[in-house]
Every structure is written in C-alpha cells, then in structure tokens.
Chains A and B, each alone.
Chain A
C-alpha cells in the first residue's frame, strides 16, 4: 500500500502571499505525482503533475519534487481568494496491472483571505 501524507491544515494566507502545501510519501519507487484542487462540493481537478526531481512551473503554480526525501510540494504565488479550496496530493501506480491507479492524501484546506 502506498501512503501519502498531507498536513490537513487548514492553511490560511492573505491575498498576494505565497501558499506552500506539502506532501510526503512512503513508496520510494514512486515516479509520478499529481496535485488536484477540489472546491467544496465539486470533484477534484488536476492542476499539476511532476515526475522529475526539481521544480515545475505553470503560471502561478510551482510543483517541487525531491525523490531522495520522498517529498512533494506545491507553491501558489500571488494567492487569490479563488484559490481557496482543498488541495489533494496523489501518486500513481507506475507499473503492473494497476497502472494508473492514484493514491491520494487527505488533502490540505487552503483559505486565501482578502
């Protein structure tokens, strides 16, 4: 079983600040990682994926992966109230018959206040 741990928060930041969301995982062999955003009452929405060590940037979002430390993070720059949501970290089964299966953390609730 692949464990994914997230600080459930809640995390509260002011508008314009950087929000930092963290995730650790148990399976050292994991290769692919995802961040999903979930608004209240809605289904999860994929916002970032990363599978190489280092940083990956997409607009205001930066995903960081450190496989040696088994650590994934998501930075949201210039946070906006519309970023207020629960952020789910997930890793994928990369091999075998369950290829594609996602293992999710519990999520971190982020609130961005004006």
Chain B
C-alpha cells in the first residue's frame, strides 16, 4: 500500500509570512495526525482528526495555526503568520483508528520548515 504522502519536502519563508502543508493519508485510514518536531526533540502532537472531525487540538497554537481535513481524506496545516520558533519538521501520520491492537503507525516523509 502507498504510504502517507506529504508536500512540500522543504520550505523556507520569512517571519510573518504564511505557509501551508499538505498530507494525503493511507487510503481508508480514518485517523490523521499532525506532529511538530523541533530539532533535538521528539515529535509533539499538534492536532488529531477522526474522519473530518477534530479529536484533539489542545497543543495547536490556534492564534497562528489552523488545520482542516475536508471530506475526511486529505489534510492541510497552515501557519499565519509564521514565527522563528515555528522552524521544525511537520510530520503527518494516519491510522485505521480501530485500536484492536496498538501497532503504531507510519509517518510521512515530513515537511522541513525554516523561518528566517
């Protein structure tokens, strides 16, 4: 099966500009996650979707970050305006969402954002 697709792979923007990331999950996966990984740290969940509804966005800086998952498939994550501390890798992952056995999930290749 095809993996989780993300684009772009890299993005460099100036602070206060806006940027958007795209994620296409594995076909049929109901749950989609966006994680932020700052250099030297482990990934931190930003937002979790179940189909097209938000399950958890408690760690999402809502004054500047937004995310949507239209039709319960693809998802976009937007930052507006960007700050220097937003420089990180943004990882997307998906899972079936039925936790019969918790086998973890696969991440996409990520988008590396540099804010200058």
Contact = CB atoms under 8 A, between A and B. Distances in A.
Interface string B89-110: 1010001010100111111111
20 contacts: A32-B102, A42-B109, A43-B89, A45-B106, A46-B105, A46-B106, A51-B102, A90-B104, A94-B99, A97-B55, A97-B56, A98-B55, A100-B99, A100-B102, A101-B33, A102-B45, A102-B104, A104-B43, A106-B41, A107-B42
A31 interface: yes
Interface residues of B, number: 27
A75 to B, nearest CB: 19
Interface of A: 4, 31-32, 34, 36, 42-46, 49, 51, 88, 90, 92, 94, 97-107
* 4 nearest A-B pairs in the assembled complex, by CB-CB distance: A104-B42, A32-B102, A43-B107, A46-B104
Interface in B71-116: 89, 91, 95, 97, 99, 102-110
A106 B42 contact: yes
Contact of A101 (B56, B89, B110): B56
Interface of B: 31, 33, 35, 40-45, 48, 50, 55-56, 89, 91, 95, 97, 99, 102-110
